[in-house]
A = this chain, B = another copy of it.
Amino acid sequence: MSFDDLLKAEADVIQACLMDALTDFPNDRITDGMRHALSGGKRLRGFLVIQSAALHGVPRNHAISAAAAIEALHAYSLVHDDLPAMDNDDLRRGQPTVHVKWDEATAILVGDALHALAFELVAKGPLPDTKKLALSHSLAQEAGGRALIRGQNMDIEAETAQTPLSLADIESLQSGKTGALIEWSCAAGAIMAGENPAPMRDYASCLGRAFQIADDILDVTGDERKAGKRLQKDETAGKATFVSHLGLDGAKNKARELVAEALHALTPYNAEADVLRDAARFVISREF
């Protein structure tokens, strides 16, 4: 199976788990909005959870719920990030954003409900309680004020800052905004197995940065229809990005370097990590 087909197949498994989790939810606009926000997307984070679990010998059925959890958390962060008071986006995954299709109050509550759902999903399933708690604890840390929200806040502040962000600032911002959930996803398998997550965190850190640089390049060169979201937003807003600092070619080179570093971080693992090696190549192959 090609990497793309494998990614699609796992996305279907994760989607089934997410929809299953909503079966006893009330028949209201919040549940409708949750389903809307959970549809589409590559499910790369959930895919990384499943692959990280496989690499660490964790039974597949122990990992699915955690994979769904990180996708619920990611979906919540997109719904809130798209709000008018935040990035004010009307298009996401090729569909109108939740506040456009419904309204702002619905989008705030849909995000909040998805946030809680992530912690419900991570507590479910056949994984031993101690491991589920470790996942939940680290998810709360990555999703909170030291990581994801710190990055989101830096991103919002950058929009009204007098001076554009330095490259170091952008790296710090992105380590929260994009890096935190990707790191959690990659470390999840080691945490489930009770093993040291350090090599997976190194891999994830490089992968996350390569992913973000690819996103910055896509914002300049990409096709809105394929991306399923508005592009050329950074340039219009005068925001400093990897591309504005390094130029297109410089950014492409930096992304390739980071993929090489990600592959290097996988040195302790044998051929069983080949899917994660493909994933690293995939994040920059999407765009250039």
Contacts and interface: CB of A to CB of B under 8 A. Distances in A.
A212 interface: no
A119 interface: yes
B24 A80 contact: no
A104 B99 CA distance: 15
B117 A115 contact: no
A124 B150 CA distance: 21
Interface stretch (A48-56, A129-137, A244-252, A277-285): A129-137
Interface in A98-153: 103-106, 108-109, 111-113, 115-120, 123-124, 129-130, 132-133, 136-137, 139-141, 143-146, 148-150, 152-153
Given A112-B115, A117-B140, A30 B85 contact: no
Contacts of A108: 80, 83, 85-86, 108
A86, A105, A156 — most chain B CB neighbours (10 Å): A105
A71 to B, nearest CB: 15
B113 A149 contact: yes
A243 to B, nearest CB: 24
A232 interface: no
A24, A26, A140, A152 — most chain B CB neighbours (10 Å): A140
Contact of A129 (B29, B130, B148): B130
Given A116-B145, A119-B119, A120-B140, 9 more contacts: A22-B145, A28-B150, A28-B153, A112-B152, A113-B145, A115-B115, A116-B149, A120-B137, A120-B141
Contacts of A109: 80, 149, 152-153, 156
A34 interface: yes
Copies of this chain, whole number: 2
21 contacts: A26-B146, A29-B153, A30-B150, A77-B112, A80-B109, A85-B108, A86-B108, A105-B156, A106-B153, A109-B152, A113-B145, A115-B116, A117-B144, A119-B119, A119-B140, A120-B137, A120-B141, A120-B144, A123-B136, A123-B140, A133-B133
B117 A123 contact: no
Interface string A5-29: 0000000000000000010111011
A31 interface: yes
A119 B136 contact: yes
Contacts of A157: 29
B123 A153 contact: no
